[in-house]
Amino acid sequence: MTGQLGDAWRHCIGAGRFELALRRDYQDSLALLQREIGFRHIRQHGLFSAGAGVHRPYEYGGERRVLHSFTYVDQVVDMYLELGIRPFVELGFMPPGLASGDQTVFWWRGNVTPPSDRAEWAALVRGTVAHLVDRYGLDEVRGWPIEVWNEPDLKDFWQHADQDAYHDLYEVTAHAVKDVDAGLQVGGPALSPGADDGWLPRFAEFVAARGVPIDFVSRHAYTSGPAQHVPFGVHQTLAPAATLLEQFAAPGRQLAGTALEGLPVHITEFNSSYRPDNPVHDTAFHAAYLAPVVAAAGDLVDSFSYWTFCDVFEEAGVPAALFHGGFGLLTHRQIRKPTFHLYAFLARMGGEVLARADDHLVTRDGTGRVTVLAWAAGQGSDGHRVRLSVPVGSPAVTAYVARSSVSEEAGNAWAAWREMGSPRSPGARQLDALREASEPARRHWSAPVVDGRAELDLSLAVHEVTLVEVTAVRDETPPWWDDTRLLGGPA
Amino acid sequence: MTGQLGDAWRHCIGAGRFELALRRDYQDSLALLQREIGFRHIRQHGLFSAGAGVHRPYEYGGERRVLHSFTYVDQVVDMYLELGIRPFVELGFMPPGLASGDQTVFWWRGNVTPPSDRAEWAALVRGTVAHLVDRYGLDEVRGWPIEVWNEPDLKDFWQHADQDAYHDLYEVTAHAVKDVDAGLQVGGPALSPGADDGWLPRFAEFVAARGVPIDFVSRHAYTSGPAQHVPFGVHQTLAPAATLLEQFAAPGRQLAGTALEGLPVHITEFNSSYRPDNPVHDTAFHAAYLAPVVAAAGDLVDSFSYWTFCDVFEEAGVPAALFHGGFGLLTHRQIRKPTFHLYAFLARMGGEVLARADDHLVTRDGTGRVTVLAWAAGQGSDGHRVRLSVPVGSPAVTAYVARSSVSEEAGNAWAAWREMGSPRSPGARQLDALREASEPARRHWSAPVVDGRAELDLSLAVHEVTLVEVTAVRDETPPWWDDTRLLGGPA
Amino acid sequence: MTGQLGDAWRHCIGAGRFELALRRDYQDSLALLQREIGFRHIRQHGLFSAGAGVHRPYEYGGERRVLHSFTYVDQVVDMYLELGIRPFVELGFMPPGLASGDQTVFWWRGNVTPPSDRAEWAALVRGTVAHLVDRYGLDEVRGWPIEVWNEPDLKDFWQHADQDAYHDLYEVTAHAVKDVDAGLQVGGPALSPGADDGWLPRFAEFVAARGVPIDFVSRHAYTSGPAQHVPFGVHQTLAPAATLLEQFAAPGRQLAGTALEGLPVHITEFNSSYRPDNPVHDTAFHAAYLAPVVAAAGDLVDSFSYWTFCDVFEEAGVPAALFHGGFGLLTHRQIRKPTFHLYAFLARMGGEVLARADDHLVTRDGTGRVTVLAWAAGQGSDGHRVRLSVPVGSPAVTAYVARSSVSEEAGNAWAAWREMGSPRSPGARQLDALREASEPARRHWSAPVVDGRAELDLSLAVHEVTLVEVTAVRDETPPWWDDTRLLGGPA
Amino acid sequence: MTGQLGDAWRHCIGAGRFELALRRDYQDSLALLQREIGFRHIRQHGLFSAGAGVHRPYEYGGERRVLHSFTYVDQVVDMYLELGIRPFVELGFMPPGLASGDQTVFWWRGNVTPPSDRAEWAALVRGTVAHLVDRYGLDEVRGWPIEVWNEPDLKDFWQHADQDAYHDLYEVTAHAVKDVDAGLQVGGPALSPGADDGWLPRFAEFVAARGVPIDFVSRHAYTSGPAQHVPFGVHQTLAPAATLLEQFAAPGRQLAGTALEGLPVHITEFNSSYRPDNPVHDTAFHAAYLAPVVAAAGDLVDSFSYWTFCDVFEEAGVPAALFHGGFGLLTHRQIRKPTFHLYAFLARMGGEVLARADDHLVTRDGTGRVTVLAWAAGQGSDGHRVRLSVPVGSPAVTAYVARSSVSEEAGNAWAAWREMGSPRSPGARQLDALREASEPARRHWSAPVVDGRAELDLSLAVHEVTLVEVTAVRDETPPWWDDTRLLGGPA
């Protein structure tokens, strides 16, 4: 029930395809994210796709050669490090000049076929990793997990979802990474939630049998049902949020007894819906739905990476409206969604867990400040009440209590946008209004401290997620201060 | 009842002594002020005092000479123009090297005696004004009112409060200004609220009799009673806010029938208390107290200049706590006080007045957006209700309504600071919490539009000042949108 | 010989395809460009191509519909206006969902076939222009030239280079623009330098015969011969720079006597080479080559738009090295090329032309400051000398002269990059060194003024372009100043 | 001759009185300083003077009390830490409310008399240090040297220059500091260069005899002769720069054999002239004069603190012109003087000393980059030549050499300002020109590497200080590159 909160929740966050990181909106959003939350790694598709321009075959002296070009890669990674975040490298998809077929995924056409030339692929991996080591230093790059491909168990992401072909890709890739330095971390197989239970054990058996290097295991987790399409969007049913925790726990269960038992497990993507055009992502419901997951999942895995940090994302084409159901914690132009605030609240919590429950989490930081994260998750609920006594832990007579909330009413720019008539491309004044509407509601009060404790009685509105910060007061009010004399009068 | 709101309210704002404008806190505060409100002119004491370093006598070739030095003046005025604000020049106090006595005012010792040498004073004025014209251009400087001295009717500000001596000073100064260019605007006499009713007529008679140039008349207005001292502060009774309006109207009344009738009237300072250490300035009460004044005074005068925009101000010494009763709309480090928000609310209103009442003002801007400013001014009141019907003026079916409020509870950093134990010098985390507490409470909703009008029923808490913005909705919600399908389900 | 310099040179500048404007590097470069030079309009391809996401067909209620989406368009144009630049709108290429064929141009695959549905195209044009008017105001958008397509005389840019098909496109498009507002400016045909001499008269005849609206005429100008390919680049011969002036003059000559005689002429693209991978663009030679063109062309046309302002440009794929022969005045990451400085020098010149010659231009601004732009254009030249007498025009005894130069040695980051070993992706320290190397060499001196004139004797190095600024000195040196006493000694 | 360069040179820098740190110009200058050079500590007078507002006596309950107020102290120190610099705390001067006399120093009137109440002074010291520890943490504050008073051997700085009185002040102060925490560092006596040789031994004897805590010893160093006054300035002869090194070495010599032998020695102020109005500070001569000192002094002392980093400084009154002979490395408005560049050059050097000579210093950093600092120090010299062979240390065939210089001609804004007519308060365009003139001249070339070494043959102009950076080239030039084909032609 108690212990350390850990920071698996902030270990990684997802992002749109590689070259989208060159956009200003993406970078402004990432800067805001790092300032108000602070993630450690960032993961995205497309490092080897056409848009990043890495794999560059050419003719010279009458023969085919390949240049590895890092013009954009370096611009992006330089920027990441400036913003205090590091790559969680995903090796994929297949460069057009190295592809064995022409199957693509997404509007932006990532090629998902195996390499036409195993050696050229290995050279690409080695060349890329060696370049990163050369530019950023070995100590730095050893801290970046390197993951092989994405969801090879799905036909959309790996031609025929051919597990043997993936094993082969994994093997050549893992060796190529370790050729650069044995201390680099390589892993996979980045399974989709739909992978059958045997996939991972078969993978374990393969790498064990062949002595292939592996430093971590990865998979994804989503809870949505099939897409019900409307123009420019979908609706989907969602399984209970707790099924996310089950999915997080699955690799550990599946690998028990295999050679990979005990390896770090990274959930390299998770969300409710796996669609970038499901409006549920924009709602207060969503923050409340995920609150118990992010509050609890650190006990199960080494990381769980929200997919994605912002709506600069084009897998289903260019978004046709400001709010369009994108994955982002932030819309285009940095409007913060309720789920952004869920993470921002977590970022203000302490490391020591004082209490956990179905509807709240209590922590304390090194200064004695106590924080409570509470949520009213049930859809359609008409509110919720949480009563707590928290230690203030000092000779304080009062505590300063500050509460921030998002709900259907508060900190909910999507609701404001709906009231504005769903303007697809809001003007400057509307954007200002949306920014105001995206601010959590803030309250503060003075709470008496009795026997070193303060009492909290919190009413939560529908889909509210609230953060309460309790700080012992050191009273500097001078002895002559008298509220009743504000407008004059005798002492 | 209706008409134009005008912008007398934003024509000018007061500030601490001249060289304080070199401080970063002052400049950061001014930048924030201009971004969120936007004043046209800024007025402050001390242009000729020691700290600004303008009047610089020296010996050369065996004789006394005077250099006019503008090192700091130019730094300050350059910065003002960059921030989109212009000087309202106050000529004073007396440079130490030109003073006829050693009486000073304030902790920073502004000399308040007449010049020892009338010609050297005239040269100082001419040299300064000519320098400004040379650096900034005649067109620009013609727009800057130039005021002669400050509150010469008070012994603290002008030795013996000698009216004849002031007349003499005014005469030599006004001519010196006009020597540079006849189109420059000069005025005075910057009377205190305590000036007797005959002061201004006598001044009018003097300038008329002597043909002295005058382009505007100025005076000040405050409502506080005598200071009841406590360490590092005072308490004072306040007269009703309406007495400010009476003071604003006084010059017009007093000058009726004189040669100065009809001249522009500038209230170059106003506030409740004239003390920079009265905590009333920091309160929500203060915003509600002044709301009816700022909403109405534009009909009476050409400007009324709030004294002052920020707490970077040292007339009573270095402030000994973050909240110390300073005049500022902003504290040190840019915490916005409730009265800041009163001005920020005004800055969002339209130019066309639709309605005025004791407790509210309704305007419309060129885009059709309607704004309501309402207030619950009475001290000790237990809230207040304002019901209105406002024109939305379009084929809209709904309106987007956004409401921002400050009150005892909301947008009131001073209240939060009290709850924190009145920390004299808050730490980084406390400053963040105060910034959050200083944000107005924001709400938004969709209001039905019937017969082109929307109904507002506003409950105001104690000392609340609220801004309501009503915008016609152009509905872009697509026909397929169905709220009930958010979590899936049939169309 | 004398007259006004005009600002045709800064009327417009070219840029990479539309959605590249979302990139931070592009925006940082544009901000730098506007700060140091300041252009009025910006023109780019791809407004209607897939990446901008404007034309969005969908199915609803069993039928095909089209949404016009401006998510990215608004982000880009909002940013342009913030940076003080405005669109020179190019209508093209064909949206995939409206194309009649699948021919594309460039690595990024702009579709160059006629619309499959004339009415749907007209609706797209009308919808787009009406949206811009709605968002930015009619007064604003009336100032934006709107050009129909790009280089329809080339098979690569317009299927079959079919002139009749272009006439048809122009007609429907021009009417669609004017449907929104008759005061909007529409024009074409944006001919390539290779268009035969009859193209423009035939176009004139067509629009005259059919009464099609036209407000301006446009064409392009380049001087390079055929591409000689090497990997990731080309080499080309260049015709003399004066042929650019001939090309600029051509439309006026060709339209003489037609109905379009006297219309404004815009050169909507010009450069030496038309290839984005020709290293000549990066050189000091290039600045000297173009100097006489930009100094003289304002007399011939209403604008001539350098193609392009920065290397964020992908027509030939992702650049594989920092210096890669891109069109840009700026490389990725804002290294200024010599030709950037040519424009920055022009931006510091005055409006009044005092003298013109083959190797220099002399102007004066409203403050009396005289500027000389001089150049040593010949390739292989071993320097050049320019002697001038310029009016200082005041009682000054001396003038302050400041000289800035770029040449093979100075202000030439490309030369430094070559010396560094042509690092494809320079590290942070190398980028700093390149920034330093990109600074023009600066010198300054005091020149005596005799009879109101100062003499200049300028030696120019190979391929040097130099700006000399001459300002009359108002001497404030005090009478007691004595250089010889710097280290003490008698007066 | 070789060894480590160390960083005594960057350990500390001086600054104007405490509350000047609140100015924007000061803060902008400090930010620039830290960005381009990077000092560790900053030292200034006036912490306890009136302007900082720390010592605040008041009456309450019928008796005198004292409040310690840190409103400004916290603003300043917070800012320092944000900019990556830390206080070198100087305890002084005497608060007006605690002074035993009214003798003051400087235009800003720092009181230099002993405390009227020893216990109240001790409480002030304890309260201030304890506050800093409370706000910034003990680990942090233990790293801040705390120095007792300033130049007590001079009558201007300490009433009667009474050594016994200083000993008493030191004793009470050192104990008060250690009362807060024994790990804090306290020291003195901050002697002037004029202190007689017995001062320090007497001080040593006193602290040893009384067991007074002491962690470091401090004194000052200047080389100027008596002031020869002109209006708003002085001229002074200067002793050879080497006398600075003698002064630095003096404390070590004087303390040999005393109880304080071996304590760290901090030169807490040094410069040529001790006057803030001597134009020598603004010159290129000055950089060349000090170059051998800053290159060598790290072997003699633990720090030597240039007095001061910027011209925001008012000991002799408000500066009457932009260049006025101030101590600053930077003028008002951040024009960099030649001596700024001397420090900026040092900041780019490596830690390993390869060679030292009278006219140069050669270092190497961890990446193998070699840097040469060379100078032509003699006044009136007509230039100087330095020939060197430096190791490039890699298989490189060429090295990239970049050279930056300041001299009478280059990087010398003062010279430009003189040519402009010494404008006391330059306008915007003049400030831009001065900024350009303040840039060092930059050159770069490719040097052949033979036997792992490159040859440098450096001609130095009068008073030139030059930095040469030599970097091994890793050549990425592609095999197909051919300079002769730039304008086309056969391979």
CATH of the domain at A306: 3.20.20.80
pLDDT at D489: 86
What are the angstrom distances between the C-alpha of D173 and each of A344, B444, D56, D119, D470? 46, 60, 19, 10, 50
pLDDT in tens, B49-72: 999 999 999 999 999 999 999 999
Per the CB < 8 Å rule, is A488 touching B225?
yes
The strands making up A370-375's β-sheet, listed across from edge to edge, are A3-4, A352-357, A360-364, A370-375, A465-472, A398-406, A441-448
pLDDT at B188: 96
Q: What is the mean pLDDT of residues A245-264?
A: 97
Query: What is the three-class DSSP state of A459?
Result: strand
**ipTM score of the complex?**
0.96
Point out the domain boundary residue: A295, A327, A347: A347
pLDDT in tens, B384-443: 999 999 999 768 999 999 999 999 999 999 999 999 999 999 999 999 999 999 999 999
pLDDT confidence bin for B382, thresholds 50/70/90: low
Report the alpha-carbon distance of residue D424 to residue A144 in Å, rounded: 56
What does the block give as tokens for B132? 């400004």
Q: Which of D18, D48, D69 to mutate to test the interface with B (most CBs of B within 10 A)?
A: D69
Residue B72: closest C-alpha in chain D: D318
Report the alpha-carbon distance of residue C404 to residue B209 in Å, rounded: 61
Q: Which residues of A touch D479 (CB under 8 A)?
A: 60
User: CA geometry: angle at A193 spanning A191 and A195, to 5°?
Assistant: 60
Q: Which of C335, C340, C370 is nearest to C352 (CA)?
A: C370
Q: Which residues form the domain of D361?
A: 352-472
- Of A152-166, A249-263, A292-306, A377-391, the one with minimum mean pLDDT is A377-391
pLDDT at A2: 63
Q: Chain B: list its partners (3+ Cβ pairs within 8 Å).
A: A, C, D
pLDDT at A379: 55
pLDDT confidence bin for A51, thresholds 50/70/90: very high
pLDDT confidence bin for A84, thresholds 50/70/90: very high
pLDDT in tens, D83-124: 999 999 999 999 999 999 999 999 999 999 999 999 999 999
What does the block give as tokens for B77? 């005025």
Instruction: Find all residues with CB under 8 Å of C223, minimum gap 6, and list them.
Output: C238, C239, C240, C241, C243, C244, C272, C273
pLDDT confidence bin for A377, thresholds 50/70/90: confident
Point out the domain boundary residue: D347, D372, D407: D347
CA distance B480 to chain C (A): 9
Per the CB < 8 Å rule, is C71 touching A424?
yes
Instruction: Find all residues with CB under 8 Å of D475, minimum gap 6, and list them.
Output: C421, C422, D397, D398
Q: Which of residues 318-347 of D touch C (CB under 8 A)?
A: none
Instruction: Find all residues with CB under 8 Å of D256, minimum gap 6, and list them.
Output: none
pLDDT at C380: 56
Q: What is the mean pLDDT of residues C460-477?
A: 97
What does the block give as tokens for B381? 């009141």
Per the CB < 8 Å rule, is A70 touching C425?
yes
- Buried-exposed string B234-248: b where 16+ CB fall within 10 A, e elsewhere: bbbebeebeebbebb
Round the average pLDDT of chain D to a whole number and report it: 96
CA distance D425 to chain B (A): 6
Same structural domain for residues B343 and B359? no
Query: What is the three-class DSSP state of C29?
Result: helix
Q: Would an 8 Å CB–CB cutoff place B479 in contact with chain A? A: no
Report the alpha-carbon distance of residue B193 to residue C19 in Å, rounded: 62
Same structural domain for residues D305 and D388? no
Q: Is C269 a catalytic residue?
A: yes
Contact B286, B375 (CB under 8 A): no
pLDDT at C289: 97
Q: What is the mean pLDDT of residues D126-138?
A: 98
Size of interface A-D (CB pairs under 8 A): 4
Residue C383 pLDDT more than 80?
Answer: no
Q: Would an 8 Å CB–CB cutoff place A69 in contact with chain C? A: yes
Q: What is the mean pLDDT of residues B293-321?
A: 97
Q: Which of B84, D237, D323, D478 is nearest to C478 (CA)?
A: D323
Same structural domain for residues B254 and B373? no
Q: Which of C275, C286, C285, C281 is nearest to C234 (CA)?
A: C275
* Nearest 10 degrees: Cα torsion A376, A377, A382, A386: -20
pLDDT confidence bin for B489, thresholds 50/70/90: confident
Per the CB < 8 Å rule, is D320 touching B71?
yes
Q: Which of residues 226-255 of B touch D (CB under 8 A)?
A: 231-232
Catalytic hit among B19, B147, B151, B315 = B151
Q: Which of A270, A296, A285, A324 is nearest to A411 (CA)?
A: A285
Beta-strand relationship, A352-357 and A384-391: unpaired
pLDDT at C2: 63
pLDDT at C135: 98
Residue C1 pLDDT more than 60?
Answer: no
Q: What is the mean pLDDT of residues D48-65?
A: 97
Same structural domain for residues D121 and D257? yes
Q: Which residues of D touch B24 (CB under 8 A)?
A: 22-24, 27, 79
Per the CB < 8 Å rule, is B476 touching A422?
yes
**Residue C34 belongs to some domain of the structure:** yes
Q: What is the mean pLDDT of residues B202-213?
A: 98
Same structural domain for residues B21 and B7? yes
Residue C481: closest C-alpha in chain D: D230
Size of interface B-C (CB pairs under 8 A): 4
Q: Would an 8 Å CB–CB cutoff place C480 in contact with chain B? A: yes
Contact D442, C436 (CB under 8 A): yes
What does the block give as tokens for B79? 């910065």
Residue D458 pLDDT more than 60?
Answer: yes
**Residue A487 belongs to some domain of the structure:** no
Same structural domain for residues C160 and C207? yes
Same structural domain for residues C342 and C358? no
Q: Which of D79, A444, A476 is nearest to B332 (CA)?
A: D79
Report the alpha-carbon distance of residue C362 to residue C349 in Å, rounded: 8
Q: Which residues of B touch C479 (CB under 8 A)?
A: 60
Domain total for chain D? 2
pLDDT confidence bin for C489, thresholds 50/70/90: confident
Q: Would an 8 Å CB–CB cutoff place A41 in contact with chain C? A: no
Q: Chain D: list its partners (3+ Cβ pairs within 8 Å).
A: A, B, C
Report the alpha-carbon distance of residue C462 to residue C408 in Å, rounded: 6
Per the CB < 8 Å rule, is D422 touching C228?
no
pLDDT confidence bin for D383, thresholds 50/70/90: confident
What does the block give as tokens for B480? 């397929």
**Residue D366 belongs to some domain of the structure:** yes
CB nearest C280 (choices: D237, D421, D487): D487
CB nearest B480 (choices: C60, C479, C480): C60
Same structural domain for residues D235 and D383? no
Same structural domain for residues C372 and C324? no
**Residue B24 belongs to some domain of the structure:** yes
pLDDT confidence bin for A382, thresholds 50/70/90: low
Q: Would an 8 Å CB–CB cutoff place C380 in contact with chain D? A: no
**Residue B481 belongs to some domain of the structure:** no
Per the CB < 8 Å rule, is B25 touching D25?
no
Residue A67: closest C-alpha in chain D: D478
Q: Which of residues 88-107 of B touch A (CB under 8 A)?
A: none
Residue A348: closest C-alpha in chain B: B429
pLDDT at D105: 97
Q: Provide, for chain C, the percentages of residues in helix, strand and coil under a 3-state DSSP scheme, each rounded to the nearest 5.
A: 35, 25, 40
**Residue D479 belongs to some domain of the structure:** no
CB atoms inside a 10 Å sphere around CB B201: 15
What are the φ and ψ backbone dihedral angles of C119, each rounded to 5 degrees? Answer: -70, -40
Report the alpha-carbon distance of residue C294 to residue C375 in Å, rounded: 12
Q: Is A205 a catalytic residue?
A: no
**Residue D410 belongs to some domain of the structure:** yes
Question: What is the CATH classification number for the domain harbouring C404?
Answer: 2.60.40.1500
Residue D1 pLDDT more than 60?
Answer: no
Residue D480: closest C-alpha in chain A: A60
Catalytic hit among C19, C90, C171, C269 = C269
Please give the model's pTM, rounded to 2 decimal places: 0.97
Residue D491 pLDDT more than 90?
Answer: no
Q: Which of D60, D71, D108, D333 to mutate to test the interface with B (most CBs of B within 10 A)?
A: D71
Per the CB < 8 Å rule, is C437 touching D420?
no
pLDDT at A381: 55
What are the φ and ψ backbone dihedral angles of C438, each rounded to 5 degrees? Answer: -85, -10
**Residue D191 belongs to some domain of the structure:** yes
pLDDT at B321: 98
CA distance B233 to chain D (A): 11
Point out the domain boundary residue: B322, B347, B372: B347
R_g of chain A, CA atoms, integer Å: 25
Q: Would an 8 Å CB–CB cutoff place A479 in contact with chain D? A: yes
Residue A136: closest C-alpha in chain C: C427
Size of interface C-D (CB pairs under 8 A): 145
Q: What is the mean pLDDT of residues B138-147?
A: 98
pLDDT at D165: 98
Per the CB < 8 Å rule, is C488 touching D237?
yes
Contact D271, D244 (CB under 8 A): no
Q: Which of C92, C103, C96, C97 is nearest to C169 (CA)?
A: C92
DSSP state of B239: -
Q: Chain A: list its partners (3+ Cβ pairs within 8 Å).
A: B, C, D
Same structural domain for residues D8 and D55? yes
pLDDT at B380: 56
Q: Would an 8 Å CB–CB cutoff place A422 in contact with chain C? A: no
Q: Would an 8 Å CB–CB cutoff place A481 in contact with chain D? A: no
Residue D380 pLDDT more than 70?
Answer: no
Report the alpha-carbon distance of residue D85 to residue A125 in Å, rounded: 43
What does the block give as tokens for A354? 């004082």
Report the alpha-carbon distance of residue D381 to residue D358 in Å, rounded: 15
Report the alpha-carbon distance of residue B11 to residue B37 in Å, rounded: 11
Residue A246 pLDDT more than 80?
Answer: yes
R_g of chain D, CA atoms, integer Å: 25
Same structural domain for residues C422 and C451? yes
Query: What is the three-class DSSP state of B372?
Result: strand
Q: Which of D18, D20, D22 to mutate to test the interface with B (most CBs of B within 10 A)?
A: D22
Same structural domain for residues A92 and A174? yes
Q: Is A76 left (phi over 0), alpha (psi -120 to 50) or beta?
A: alpha
Secondary structure (H, E, C), chain D: CCEECCCHHHCEEECCCHHHHHEHHHHHHHHHHHHHCCCCEEECCCCCCHHHCCEEEEEECCEEEEEECCHHHHHHHHHHHHCCCEECEEECCECHHHECCCCEECCCCEECCCECCHHHHHHHHHHHHHHHHHHHCHHHHCCCCEEECCCCCCCCCCHHHCHHHHHHHHHHHHHHHHHHCCCCCEEEEEECCCCCCCHHHHHHHHHHHHCCCCCEEEEEECCECCCEEECCEEECCECCCHHHHHHHHHHHHHHCCCCCCCCCEEEEEECCCCCCCCHHHHCHHHHHHHHHHHHHHHHCCCEEEECCCECCCCCCCCCCCCCCCCCCCECHHHCECHHHHHHHHHHCCCCEEEEECCCEEEEECCCCCEEEEEECCCCCCCCEEEEEEEECCCCCCEEEEEEEEECCCCCCHHHHHHHCCCCCCCCHHHHHHHHHHCCCEEEEEEEECECCEEEEEEEECCCCEEEEEEEECCCCCCCCCCHHHCCCCCC
Contact B271, B281 (CB under 8 A): yes
Q: Which residues of D touch A56 (CB under 8 A)?
A: none
Per the CB < 8 Å rule, is A444 touching B433?
yes
